[in-house]
Amino acid sequence: MELIIKKALEAARVTVNNLEDKGRELNAGAFGDISTVADVASEKAIIDVLKSAIQNISIISEETGLLGDVDNSEYLAIVDPVDGTVNLKQDLPFYSAAIAISKGKKFSDIIAAGIINLVNGEVIIADKRGAYINDKLVRPSNTTSLNEAIVSLDLKVFKHNEKLSMFAEHVISRARYTRSMGSAALETAYVSCGRLDCFLALEGVRVVDMAAAAYIVMQAGGVVESLDGSLKNLDLLYKGDISYVAAANDKLLKELMEIFQ
């Protein structure tokens, strides 16, 4: 399954990089966000590969929504064709595409996932064996305290939520370094390989934005905790926003959650 995911992600990268007007805005997608030429083209490239490689599959994607009969399909693919669309439109070189494949409608049913950096082509793949970059097994960092941690988070949280803003302020004040890069999927996945020690999605993202990345972190040996309920029982068809914390290990997560409480 991971080879199919990698093929689909690479098809998305080639497609996006060959577009001349990739940032041009189109209509709103299935989840209400404005789509760009790159979003639509990347989605088509991914769907074409998945449908040709897996016969009995339904797909839920950010632009089109649900394709197929999920109740009578053997597999369900969760697709984010471009994560970091603002970066793409501004020609900031940090945006990604993500795919998770499950055998059911719950997060715990995911069996494989992958994320590609659409700029440099690097792919992070995970299945039950672990997480890999270019076939090399990766693990999260050994950082166990915030004062030694590199933390990334979405700064939009300061616009909308007082409690979560206070949480973010405390984390930033304790962290060794703080970053905000604009692609939640890629930033979350970077926890799996130690490039970041934790990522905070406090503003909330959709399932299509986080399912693959959260799975990758967990298969690598890191931890992900939803602030809205059990991640294990998360409905992959849920259309609302999810706030979560991804961390390299239980000790770091515990410190973060103590601050949150």
Instruction: Quote the number of domains for the chain.
Output: 2
Q: Is residue 245 part of a domain?
A: yes
Residue 200 lies in a domain: yes
- 51 and 117 share one domain: yes
**Residue 218 maps to a domain:** yes
Strands (E), 128-197: 130-133, 136-138, 150-153, 177-179
Asked if 45 and 62 count as a contact pair (C-beta separation under 8 A), the reply is no
Query: Where on the phi/psi map is residue 86: left (φ > 0), alpha (ψ -120 to 50), or beta?
Result: alpha
Query: Has residue 141 been placed in a domain?
Result: no
Residues 181 and 208 in one domain: yes
**64, 30 contact by CB (below 8 A):** yes
16 shares its domain with 96: yes
pTM: 0.94
The residue from 108, 136, 164 where one domain ends is 136
Whether residue 179 sits in one domain with residue 248: yes
Model pLDDT, residue 31: 61
Question: Do both 131 and 154 map to the same domain?
Answer: no
Domain boundary residue among 72, 101, 136?
A: 136
Q: Based on the domain organization, do 22 and 111 belong to the same domain?
A: yes
For residues 101 and 171, membership in a common domain is answered with no
The owner of tokens 């700064």 is 155
Residues contacting 124, CB < 8 A, separation 6+: 114, 115, 116, 131, 132, 133, 138, 189, 192, 193, 216
Q: Which helix (H) or strand (E) holds 38?
A: helix 37-53
Q: Which pLDDT does position 9 carry in this prediction?
A: 98
Q: Is residue 104 in some structural domain?
A: yes
**One domain, residues 28 and 68:** yes
Q: What is the mean pLDDT of each run of 10 residues along the chain (261 residues)?
A: 96 96 77 81 97 95 89 96 95 97 96 97 96 94 97 87 89 96 97 98 92 98 90 91 96 94 83
Domain assignment present for residue 10? The answer is yes
Segments forming the whole domain that contains residue 157: 146-260
Please report, for residues 8, 73, 151, 197, the alpha-carbon distance to residue 104 in angstroms, rounded to integers and kept in the order given.
20, 9, 32, 30
Looking at the structure, do residues 65 and 153 belong to the same domain, yes or no? Answer: no
78, 104, 136 — which closes off a domain? 136
CATH for 96: 3.30.540.10
131 and 6 part of one domain: yes
CB 141 within 8 A of CB 246: no
Whether 27 maps to a domain, the answer reads yes
Question: Does 181 map to a domain?
Answer: yes
Task: Spell out where 84-144 has E strands.
Answer: 96-102, 110-117, 123-127, 130-133, 136-138
Q: What is the pLDDT of residue 109?
A: 97
- 108 and 225 belong to one structural domain: no
Dist. CA 92–CA 88, nearest whole Å: 6
CB atoms within 10 A of CB 97: 34
Same domain, 219 and 153: yes
Give me the amino acid identity at 175: A
Q: What is the CATH number of the domain that holds 209?
A: 3.40.190.80
